[in-house]
Amino acid sequence: MELRALRYFVEVVRQQSFTVAAEQMFVTQPTISKMVKSLEDEIGSPLLLRDGRQMVLTDAGRIVYQRGQDVLAAHAQLQAELNDLGTLGSGEVTIGIPPMGGSLFTPAIAAFRQRYPKIDLKLFEQGSRAIEAALISGELELGGVLLPVDPEMIDVLPVTRQVLWLVARHASRWDDLREVPLAVLAMEPFVFYGESLALNDVVLNACRQAGFAPTIVGRSGHWDFMAALVQAGVGIALLPAPYCRRLDATQFTCRPVVEPEIPWEMAIGWRRNGYLSHAARAWLDVARETLPGQAGSDFMHAPMPDNAEPAASQLADHTPK
């Protein structure tokens, strides 16, 4: 069984799309389709069936998908151990970087490059869910993940814990408030996170807990673009507090969301009981030295204006715009 065909098949199942899988693997869709077909021919049974827009695994497909992940993880570990026979004078390490937490890891990346200039440091830019799956499958050694994750599968080094804040245009009805209950945003149009991002599910669950389903008018995985859409009047957004601190206070109103608070907890994750190369362990050591300072300084709550009201209870009688 060809590993490449197995890898393509696993990616198609993860993404539930031949097109998206091809983009992730940097090949054409016909290549993906051909390799999956060759895998089915070799096994002698179909692995995937289409049910409307969804793909359904056959009995054989479930076995190949489950065992295939183990095979790919074992192959990745074998390759890492063989590559690790050398010293830290050379080699490579790939780090998963989520789009919403990328700036958190910049100090560690810079310090690692300075300390180990001959190690090829590669960045895998995907959402936290894709990074988590890649860690479990063994395709990645280290990556930024949004907590919580399965502690039976992934060990973590916490980086920062923040909460999401409301981001609205300046001179909005939120200006004089210190905090905003999530439920009062029920009728607002939301600029939301991409469906592939773990934060998408976190915010959706919080909205359900507050008793409503959000009206989504746009999606992005990049905080600055989300803020730009808010400034353009497309809708409101919920962003981690540190990014709100970077926004121009003359253009935006940012307030903590409560009832419930929505946590944003970032960590570095690696596969529990998995093999970590010398290069990966070195990067983790650098991260331990550099990231806590970043989390404790730049990534903090933005101060509230002196004229902010102590509570948002007065919003109860307002009709959402």
What is residue 275's predicted lDDT score, i.e. its pLDDT?
Answer: 83
Q: Domain boundaries in the chain? A: 1-83, 161-264+300-317
* DSSP letter, residue 302: P
Which tens digits make up the pLDDT trace of 193-249?
988 888 999 999 999 999 999 999 999 989 999 999 999 999 999 999 999 999 999
- Mean pLDDT for the chain overall: 84
The pLDDT confidence band at residue 291, using thresholds 50, 70 and 90, is confident
Residue 167 is predicted with a pLDDT of 97
Report pLDDT for 15. 87
Q: Which residues contact 153 (CB under 8 A, 6 or more apart)?
A: 135, 136, 271, 272
Fold of 1-83: Arc Repressor Mutant, subunit A (1.10.10)
Give the total residue count for the chain. Answer: 321
- Residue 217 is predicted with a pLDDT of 97
The CA-based diameter of the chain, rounded to the nearest angstrom, is 71
Cβ pair 200, 208 in contact under 8 A: no
Q: How many CB atoms lie within 10 A of CB 33?
A: 15
89 — pLDDT class (breaks 50, 70, 90): low
- Examine the pLDDT at 130 and tell me if it is beyond 50: yes
pLDDT at residue number 99? 86
Reply yes or no on whether the pLDDT at 300 is more than 50: no
Higher pLDDT, 311 or 115: 115
Token pair 């074992």 in the structure block, residue? 74
Identify the burial level of 127 via C-beta atoms within 10 angstroms of its C-beta, where 0-12 means exposed, 13-18 middle and 19 or more buried. buried
User: What is the pLDDT, as a whole number, of residue 25?
Assistant: 83
CA distance 45 to 39: 9
Nearest to 178 by CA among 301, 264, 320: 301
Please tell me the predicted confidence (pLDDT) of residue 14.
87
Q: Is residue 133 predicted with pLDDT exceeding 70?
A: yes
Percent of the chain with pLDDT over 90: 45
- Give the residue with greater pLDDT, 292 vs 283: 283
pLDDT in tens, 104-117: 899 999 999 998 88
Residues 285-289 have a mean pLDDT of: 91
Range from 169-183, 190-204, 229-243, 300-314 carrying the lowest mean pLDDT: 300-314
pLDDT at 90: 63
pLDDT tens digit sequence for 4-44: 888 889 988 888 888 888 888 888 889 989 989 889 888 88
H helix count then E strand count, the chain: 10, 12
CATH of the domain spanning 161-264+300-317: 3.40.190.290
Please tell me the predicted confidence (pLDDT) of residue 81: 67
Helices marked H in 89-174 — which ranges? 106-115, 128-137
